[in-house]
Amino acid sequence: MTECDTRLPHSADYIIEELWSRIRGSACGLNRKISVKLQLINIALIVTIILSTVAISYISYIRHLESQVISSNLNVLSQIGKRVDSMLQEIDLTMLTFLRGSESLSFFDSPASNSPQSLMGISALQDRLGSILGANFNMKSVMLYAKNSGKLVTPADYYSVKDAPQMSWVQLFSGTTAKFDKWTALPTGTDGGPIGSDFLMVRYYPFTAGAADSKGIAVTRINERSISRMFEDLQFNDSYNVFLVDRNGTIMSHKDPALIHQSIRDKSYSEKILAQQGQGYVIDNTDHGRNLVFYNHSSYTGWTLIYVVSRQQLGTLSYIIRNILIGAACLLAMLAIAVTRFVNKQWFVPIENFITRLDDLVSRSHPGPGNHRTASSFSYSDLQNRIQQVFIGYSDAERRLHESLPALKLQIMFEMLTGKRTKFETAEPLLKHVGIALHPANYIALTAEFDHRSVQSSGDLQLYLYALCNVAEESIGSLHDGDAVKGAAVQINDYQAVILLSFACDRPADNAGLALIFAERLRTNTEQLFKKTISIGVGSPYPGFQDIRTSYLESAAFVAYKILTGPNAIITSEQAGSWDSGKMTEVFETVDGVLEAVKQADAGRTNLKLDALFDNVAATNLTKDMMVQLCLQVLLKALRIAADSSLDERFQEDKDTVLDRFQHCETMQEMQAVLGGQLNGLITAMIEKRSTRKKTNDLIEAIQAYLTVHYVNSDISVNYMADLFGISPNYLSKLFKEHTTMNFIDYLIEVRMKAASELLLETSLKLNEIALQTGFSNFSSFLRNFKKYYGMTPTEYRQVHADSIAK
């Protein structure tokens, strides 16, 4: 067997030399066959490219179309959901406002009475109910039922439920075992009541009471058509494929009234959608094809808006583009065939000459039949080897990067802490690869962070966290004899490290004790080695590998409580506890005291009230986020007390900065200092504003006194007074308007008109003389202003009042 025969048939050298041999064999008398073959190959290649391009374009378009349909429908569904919630919230707010009225309180609290006063109250209550129905077309009816009296009142009726058996269903909502949502349909199996497709809003009175301890209920019948009409904004809503269901899967709103109050539990997609929160879509494979089922869950009502789009509906959108692409493909294919035939006919002769010359060159480069290795073949192999080396080198570098132990360790720990890895068996080989030893059960997570991190640079903090992880892993090994405790530590974010402990013992109490001992040692070692303090949150013990995430989230939440405990603390569930709702009343009372001190612009008293406020806050065991919100509310209410739009605008501009300062506080003292600084700045601004207001009041009073005495001066004007008092005319006009609610000229005319009326009644001066003595140099101007002010001429005024005096 020759060298050529032993070569692999698919090697590069074999293919190149085979091509050269075919070219040499065909160059002598077979050019016409090559022309035909080349033409067919070109046509086939171009047609293949065209068809592939059209197919890829069509597939890409379909995917893009589906993506757009999903995005647009989710967006529209979200908007409809917001509109539905807004409508229901408006109805709820209307009823809440109504139930706070005195008529409602009297109806629910008073026993049944036929006294005139009671009946007048019922009549007023019915008038208010009628006004509510007239103002909100989304409400069909409203009725109130009082347990105390057994009476039921509507805008048109007032009667006892015992006298109207058809309304006995109302009592179902107020029974001791009643369990209904606020938004609900009429209970099944009842007679009478709201019929058709509408649903109810049920409000207990008082608002915080349940069914058993309530004094009565308010039942509002909602117009279902107001909701179903909103569905018309969707793209494919002509087939009644949009509906609103409650948390039990019962249809509450649909374009087809016959389907309302039916259940969707028989649908294959119902379990998936009813278990979801937020919005999204699921794919439902049916006998008729694949459907896209969009959903939008409302956190307000607990209901879900569902929208089903079938594959046939999506296909109608792609029908036109599919036909266009097919037509374009046919046109391009015919054009390609014509161009290929023209090119072959016009330019193939030069190509054949080129092939002949190549044959001559190859013949000179391969003089002997056994010389199969040429310079060209060696250069091709060399190029192939170099490219292969580049790819191999890149693959090795990429593999080393991905298999880097620190990076792999961080990735595995992160997946465990976030719940992406939930099985010990699958994680164990990777853990061993990066040098982490864990027991298959019994885990506790600890979250540690350095105190006073705001005074440390980001780079230094990263180094300290890296060193802290090393110290933690060394401390784990010395915690217990043998392998009773195993674990690992990793930096989880820019300012926290997480230590995961696993125990051979199955007793949670003992494991929790060992975790506390470990936390104490870690805190002590950190203080000795780094001269810094740390706070550690200790999660609860859990037996399963899948519970690591829960323990980690607890520890991260506990460490945030250092704002109450102070720095250098070890915080467990016992220290964190839950906030004391009973003491919140004291907190709110103290807030009122702080606001009262701010209102009085008393900085010293404000600081004393702040001390009392934060003492009460510490006793309630609030979380840091709740404390931040409390501080923001105090600051916002203080701004409202100041009643200065400029201060309020400045707070809105600096709101993010103030919020960031509150969130970066690590102790209650720091948070109190930030809030105190803001309130003291507000008090200073209020004092300055009050001082300025007093000065302007004195100025306006001086101007008014001057006008009262010198109104006879006809030269008085805004510019005259501005020059006299040394201020600008515009500023004088603005101050005068703010303090008297009148402009300067109107006030001056009022002073002169009052003086003129006195002269008309008390003297016999002529009208032109009175005009001059009241500052009018123009008599007609005097007459015009007098008639405008008193509604009559000076002569008529003198005559009317003279007759009155005479009588």
Is 262 in contact with 250 (CB distance < 8 Å)?
yes
In a domain, 85, yes or no: no
pLDDT bin (cut points 50, 70, 90) of residue 681 is: confident
**What pLDDT score was predicted for residue 642?**
72
pLDDT band at 81 (very low <50, low <70, confident <90, very high): confident
Model pLDDT for residues 727-759, shown as the tens digit of each residue: 888 888 888 888 888 888 889 999 999 999 999
Crossing angle of the two packed helices 624-642 and 584-599, in degrees rounded to 10: 30
d(CA 107, CA 99): 10
Structure tokens at 14: 């074999």
Q: How far apart are CA 498 and CA 678, in angstroms?
A: 36
**586 vs 334, higher pLDDT:** 334
- pLDDT exceeds 60 at position 10: no
Nearest CA to 428 out of 418, 438, 419 is that of: 438
- Residue where a domain terminates, one of 253, 281, 307: 307
One-letter amino acid of 363: S
Residue 8 pLDDT exceeds 50: no
pLDDT-based confidence at 577, cuts 50/70/90?
Answer: low
Among candidate residues 254, 282, 307, the one where a domain is terminated: 307
Residue 76 belongs to a domain: no
DSSP 513-549: HHHHHHHHHHHHHHHHHHS--EEEEEPPPBSSGGGHH
Give the pLDDT confidence score for residue 300 in this predicted structure.
Answer: 87
- On whether both 448 and 303 belong to a single domain, the answer is no
- pTM score: 0.38
CB 690 within 8 A of CB 602: no
Residue 151: pLDDT above 80?
yes
Contacts of residues 606-611 at CB distance under 8 Å and 24 or more positions apart, as own/partner, are 606/676, 606/679, 606/680, 606/683, 607/676, 607/680, 610/672, 610/675, 610/676, 610/679, 611/672
Q: Which domain holds residue 594?
A: 581-693
- Looking at the predicted structure, is the pLDDT value of residue 352 above 70? no
Residue 447's pLDDT is 94
Crossing angle for the helix pair 624-642 and 603-620, nearest 10 degrees?
Answer: 150
pLDDT at residue 3 above 50?
no
Give the count of domains, the chain: 4
Question: Are 154 and 258 contained in the same domain?
Answer: yes
Based on the fold, state whether residues 435 and 570 are members of the same structural domain.
yes
Which comes out higher in pLDDT, residue 578 or 164? 164
Task: For residues 608 and 752, state if they share a domain.
Answer: no
pLDDT of 632: 84
Note the pLDDT of residue 237. Answer: 56
User: Do 585 and 568 share a structural domain?
Assistant: no
The pLDDT confidence band at residue 163, using thresholds 50, 70 and 90, is confident
Q: Is residue 662, in this structure, part of any structural domain at all?
A: yes
Which of 260-274, 333-347, 717-731 is the least confident region? Answer: 333-347
Given a cut of 70, whether residue 253 has pLDDT beyond it is yes
The model's pLDDT over 173-214, given as tens digits with 9 standing for 90+, comes to 776 666 677 888 766 554 444 456 778 888 888 877 877 788
What pLDDT was estimated at residue 388?
A: 64
What's the rounded mean pLDDT across residues 702-724?
Answer: 87
pLDDT(265) > 60: yes
Domain boundary among the residues 693, 725, 750 is at 693
Mean pLDDT of 386-400: 61
CB 279 within 8 A of CB 304: no
Residue 671 falls inside a structural domain: yes
> Has residue 21 been placed in a domain?
no
Is residue 748 assigned to a domain? yes
Q: Give the CATH number of the domain where residue 795 resides.
A: 1.10.10.60
Q: Please check whether residues 642 and 791 belong to one and the same domain.
A: no
CATH of the domain at 258: 3.30.450.20
| Rounded mean pLDDT, 66-84 | 85
Reported as a single tens digit per residue, the pLDDT across 513-557 is: 888 989 898 999 998 988 889 999 999 999 999 999 999 998 888
Same-domain status, 142 and 291 = yes
Tokens of 409: 């360790």
Confidence of residue 6 (pLDDT cuts 50, 70, 90): very low
pLDDT on residue 172? 76
pLDDT tier at 387 (50, 70, 90 boundaries)? low
807: amino acid identity, one letter: K
The model's confidence at residue 30, banded by pLDDT at 50, 70 and 90, is very low
Percent share of the chain, pLDDT over 70: 79
Lowest-confidence segment of 380-389, 615-624, 721-730 by average pLDDT:
380-389
The whole-number pLDDT of residue 162 equals 84
The CA distance from 250 to 265, in Å, is: 8
Q: Are residues 571 and 614 in the same domain?
A: no
Please tell me which residue, 224 or 404, carries the higher pLDDT value: 224
Is the same domain home to 623 and 727? no
Comparing 365 with 80, the larger pLDDT belongs to 80
Is the domain of 181 the same as that of 251?
A: yes
Q: Are 687 and 720 members of one domain?
A: no
pLDDT value for 543:
92
Whether 688 and 718 map to the same domain: the answer is no
In a domain, residue 131? The reply is yes
Predicted confidence band of residue 391 (pLDDT cuts 50, 70, 90): low
User: Which amino acid is present at 627?
Assistant: M
Give the pLDDT confidence of 471-496 residue by residue, as tens digits. 888 888 777 666 889 999 998 888 88
Whether residue 183 contacts residue 88, with contact meaning beta carbons closer than 8 Å, is answered with yes
pLDDT of 66 higher than 70: yes
Q: Average pLDDT, stretch 617-626?
A: 75
pLDDT confidence band for 108 (50 / 70 / 90): confident
Mean pLDDT calculated for residue range 645-673: 72
Mean pLDDT, the chain, integer: 79
pLDDT average, residue stretch 776-805: 86
What's the CATH code of the domain at 486?
3.30.70.270
**pLDDT value of position 161:** 82
- Res. 444: pLDDT tops 90: yes
Please give the pLDDT value at position 101.
84
CB crowding 153-181: b at 16 or more within 10 Å, else e? bbbeebeebeeeeebebbbbbbeeebeee
For residue 36, being part of any structural domain is answered with: no
CA 375 vs CA 4, 109, 378, 380: distances in Å: 17, 108, 5, 9
Altogether, the residues listed in the chain come to a count of 807
